[in-house]
Amino acid sequence: MRIGGIEAGGTKFVCGVGNEHGEIYERVTFPTTTPEETMEKVFSFFQDKEVKAIGVGSFGPIDVDRASETYGYITQTPKVKWKNFNIVGALKNHFHVPIGFHTDVTAAALAESTWGAAKGLDSCLYMTVGTGIGVGAVIDGKPFQGLTHPEMGHILVKRHPNDRFEGFCPYHGDCLEGLAAGPALEKRWNKKGQELTDQPEVWEIESFYLAQALMNYILILSPKKIVVGGGVMKQEHLLPLVRKQVLELLNRYVAVPELTPENIDNYIVLPGLGDNAGLAGSIAFGVNGK
Ligand code: ADP
Ligand code: ZN
């Protein structure tokens, strides 16, 4: 079955066609500009693709409550032109096929648990540490949501004693995203993350925040695997620091084999699907109509 997927990101859109087995036949990428211009490119890509459904994994916050009048809208985004844009409505007007819709990180979590690093597990968390921090969860094999989708990138964390940076989240200042996303590195140290590899104090603070977040997710959701991606995780020494601090923080309180020094490398892992997770997961939303 040919299914369309749209990974709708704040900086770029990825559109593709694949199937229910996670195979991707083709994909294109273009920059996110105005909704009109960007959606025009989406429409022309899918025009002759003969897809049976389309799934969207979107930047957010978005409205994922099917009972809501604004289901399918991008809601509170700082990208003003996209604020209150009805992306599902725009697609429905153009293509008469079922449209699936959830967050980009939930898409990645679903793809990783279906085909990637968490394959075969009925729960997993996907965290991206990039321009922002986003976290998606699959619980009992399904995209996790309550009132709306969780916003686990904006949790509060304890300050590192050596950190004087005020944080950059426009809503909360020094929430996790405000202290630990890529722009926080750049604003705190006056250099891009890519250029800070050789400064251990940078990664000591970064891993201090990320490990607290993962500890909280483990305590609250108890996911069977945690997948961590995004630009900042390209620092290869960062994930081992995070794992070590997660174990120290938990202090053997959660007594499962996964949370031991022997097995932690296999519990907190990099994405198995690399850059395809978001698109593959969006296609999975199309398959499920979720
Ligand atoms: P997006 O979040 O827009 O999808 P990315 O996941 O690539 O994009 O994240 C971009 C952020 O990650 C930027 O703040 C950038 O400085 C940072 N970044 C990218 N590569 C690295 C790297 N190798 N080391 C540290 N930070 C990086
Ligand atoms: Zn915040």
Q: pTM for this one?
A: 0.95
What integer pLDDT is reported at residue 167 of this predicted model?
Answer: 98
Provide mean pLDDT across the span 130-159.
96
CA 261 to ligand 1 center in whole angstroms: 28
CA 173 to ligand 2 center in whole angstroms: 6
Q: Is the pLDDT of residue 109 over 60?
A: yes
What count of Cα atoms within 13 Å lies in the side-chain half-sphere of residue 43? 16
Q: Give ligand 1 pocket residues (Cβ under 6 A).
A: 9, 11, 128, 130-131, 182-183, 192-194, 230-232, 234-235
CA 197 to ligand 1 center in whole angstroms: 13
Q: In the chain, pLDDT over 70 holds for what percent of residues?
A: 99
Q: Is the pLDDT of residue 237 over 80?
A: yes
Q: In the chain, pLDDT over 90 holds for what percent of residues?
A: 94
Provide mean pLDDT across the span 42-63.
96
pLDDT tens digits, one per residue of 178-195: 999 999 999 999 999 999
Identify which of 12, 194, 196, 205 to mutate to test ligand 1's pocket (most ligand atoms within 8 A of the CB): 194
Q: Is the pLDDT of residue 290 over 80?
A: no
Q: What is the DSSP string of 76-131?
A: S-SSGGGTTEEHHHHHHHH--S-EEEEEHHHHHHHHHHHHSTTTT-S-EEEEEESS
Residues 6 or more apart whose CB falls under 8 angstroms from that of 227 comprise 108, 109, 112, 116, 117, 118, 124, 125, 126, 127, 269, 270, 271, 272, 277
Nearest CA to ligand 1 atom 24: 194
Contact by Cβ (8 Å): 176, 127:
no
CA 239 to ligand 1 center in whole angstroms: 15
Q: What token pair was written down for 152? A: 């686990």
Burial class of residue 113 (count of CB atoms within 10 Å of its CB; 0-12, 13-18, 19+): buried
Least confident of 1-5, 168-172, 286-290: 286-290
Nearest CA to ligand 1 atom 27: 232
Ligand closest to CA 31: 1
For the chain, which domains are there?
3-105+275-288 (3.30.420.40), 117-270 (3.30.420.40)
What integer pLDDT is reported at residue 79 of this predicted model?
Answer: 84
The pLDDT confidence band at residue 289, using thresholds 50, 70 and 90, is low
Residues 6 or more apart whose CB falls under 8 angstroms from that of 96 comprise none
Q: Is the pLDDT of residue 35 over 90?
A: yes
Q: Is the pLDDT of residue 100 over 90?
A: yes
The pLDDT confidence band at residue 66, using thresholds 50, 70 and 90, is very high
Provide mean pLDDT across the span 208-218.
98
Please list all protein residues whose beta carbon sits less than 5 angstroms from ligand 2, which is an ion: 154, 169, 171-172, 175, 177
Q: Is the pLDDT of residue 174 over 70?
A: yes
Helix (H, G, I), strand (E, B) or coil at 260: coil
Nearest CA to ligand 1 atom 3: 131
